[in-house]
């Protein structure tokens, strides 16, 4: 079977726990200078607990499928209830499971998302089967697709990036990469930099962009210019509430985000990235892709769970499309 898109990346069982009794504490000991805290040695009742599928590989697969693209997820899950939950959710959204492998030796990855409503969240992650995939696990002879999408690849899995990218280029398959895995931006950083010229679309947030460019996060203009020099194709830098910047070597595009509520932002980055690529597939128009990506990210932020709220084909939500500014690169 030939797919429109095959996604790679993490596949997790997520549990969302929310309580207004949590406290936000400012302290230099925290990386972000702020912590989400509960009293030590006490019990705390949660306001809500929700189980859902997560992971960049599976989250993005659902967006592609909801945009009427023939989609498969290629990755590993463990046997058991968590893995079955991932399979059930993918099947529900019509993502093909032919390239999904169940393994005995590792459990399905797991995340606990603890949040204080209207303030913020902390994610506790446990690696699992999806982080153990290696080149030998990939059935390259069965990969027939127009696009490959590589999401977060932590642990051993970051080592598949180079062979997958090289396979795509040899077989005239377009490839998009959103390298948010810890290993990709640390031990795999130099290899990642070396293959960027082969990638059609690179999507990063501002912090990841700074790491890849080797610059301080505050130097936005310098970061983006360096990325644009490093990437032969389209480079996308998302900036959270400040919107997004995109360049294709000739023009630079920028847009903000619509005014909307916020229930939970988990999965918003995946929602933007996959819908952006879906927009390119549909119209080969960067402005349109930005608008679709922004609408999808806004929609998923209105519900708990990384795939709840994702837009269907031709649905733009209740927000006006964002204005996209376009300027020629000097």
Confidence bin at 249 (pLDDT 50/70/90): confident
Mean pLDDT across the stretch 273-288? 96
| 261 vs 170 pLDDT, higher one | 170
Of 1-5, 166-170, 211-215, 282-286, the poorest mean pLDDT is in 211-215
For the cut 70, the answer to whether the pLDDT of residue 185 exceeds it is no
Q: How many other C-beta atoms lie within 10 A of the C-beta of residue 96?
A: 18
In-domain check, residue 53: yes
CA dist., res. 64 & res. 232, Å (int) = 24
DSSP per-residue codes, 274-297: HHHHHHHHHH--HHHHHHHHHHHH
Mean pLDDT across the stretch 304-328? 88
Confidence bin at 218 (pLDDT 50/70/90): confident
The count of domains in the chain is 1
CA dist., res. 56 & res. 75, Å (int) = 11
For the cut 70, the answer to whether the pLDDT of residue 275 exceeds it is yes
Helix orientation angle between 81-92 and 56-66, rounded to the nearest 10 degrees: 20
What's the confidence (pLDDT) of residue 184? 58
Whether the CB-CB separation of 187 and 220 falls below 8 Å is answered with: no
Q: Could you identify the residue written with the tokens 């996959």?
A: 274
Confidence bin at 260 (pLDDT 50/70/90): confident
Q: How many other C-beta atoms lie within 10 A of the C-beta of residue 294?
A: 28
For the cut 60, the answer to whether the pLDDT of residue 183 exceeds it is no
- What is the domain-level CATH number for residue 201? 3.40.1190.20
26 Cβ contact list (under 8 Å, min separation 6): 33, 34, 35
Q: The domain containing residue 70 runs over which residues?
A: 3-21+49-328
Closest C-alpha among 303, 290, 215, 225 to residue 260: 303
CA dist., res. 203 & res. 151, Å (int) = 9
In-domain check, residue 112: yes
In-domain check, residue 107: yes
Model confidence over 114-153: pLDDT tens digits?
988 878 889 898 999 999 999 999 999 999 999 999 998 8
In-domain check, residue 40: no
∠ CA 162-103-75, rounded to 5°? 35
In-domain check, residue 28: no
In-domain check, residue 242: yes
In-domain check, residue 30: no
Please give the structure tokens belonging to residue 229: 């020099």
Q: Decide the pairing of beta strands 23-26 and 12-18.
A: unpaired
Model confidence over 38-78: pLDDT tens digits?
999 989 999 999 898 999 999 999 999 999 999 999 999 99
pTM: 0.92
CA dist., res. 217 & res. 210, Å (int) = 5
């Amino acid at each position: 079977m030939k797919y429109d898109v095959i996604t790679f990346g993490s596949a997790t069982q997520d549990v969302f726990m929310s309580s207004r009794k949590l406290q936000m504490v400012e302290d230099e000991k925290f990386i972000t200078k702020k912590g989400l805290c509960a009293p030590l040695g006490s019990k705390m009742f949660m306001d809500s607990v929700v189980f859902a599928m997560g992971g960049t590989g599976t989250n993005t697969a659902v967006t592609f499928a909801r945009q009427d693209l023939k989609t498969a997820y290629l990755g590993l899950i463990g046997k058991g209830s968590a893995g079955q939950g991932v399979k059930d959710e993918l099947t529900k959204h019509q993502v093909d499971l032919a390239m999904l492998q169940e393994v005995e030796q590792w459990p399905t990855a797991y995340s606990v998302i603890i949040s204080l409503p209207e303030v913020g969240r902390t994610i506790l992650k446990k690696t699992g089967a999806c982080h153990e995939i290696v080149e030998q696990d990939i059935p390259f002879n069965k990969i027939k697709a127009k696009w490959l999408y590589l999401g977060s690849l932590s642990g051993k899995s970051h080592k598949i990036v180079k062979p997958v990218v090289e396979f795509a280029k040899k077989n005239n398959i377009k490839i998009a990469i959103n390298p948010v895995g810890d290993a990709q931006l640390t031990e795999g950083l130099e290899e990642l930099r070396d293959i960027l010229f082969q990638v059609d679309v690179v999507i990063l947030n501002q912090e990841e962009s700074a790491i890849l460019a080797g610059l301080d996060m505050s130097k936005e203009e310098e970061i983006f210019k360096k990325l644009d020099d490093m990437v032969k194709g389209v480079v996308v830098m998302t900036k959270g509430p400040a919107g997004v910047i995109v360049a294709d070597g000739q023009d630079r595009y920028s847009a903000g985000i619509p005014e909307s509520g916020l229930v939970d932002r988990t999965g918003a980055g995946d929602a933007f990235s996959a819908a952006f690529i879906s927009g390119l597939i549909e119209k080969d128009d960067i402005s349109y892709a930005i608008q679709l990506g922004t609408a999808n990210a806004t929609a998923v932020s209105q519900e708990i769970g990384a795939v709840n709220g994702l837009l269907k084909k031709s649905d733009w939500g209740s927000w006006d499309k964002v204005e996209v500014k376009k300027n020629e690169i000097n």
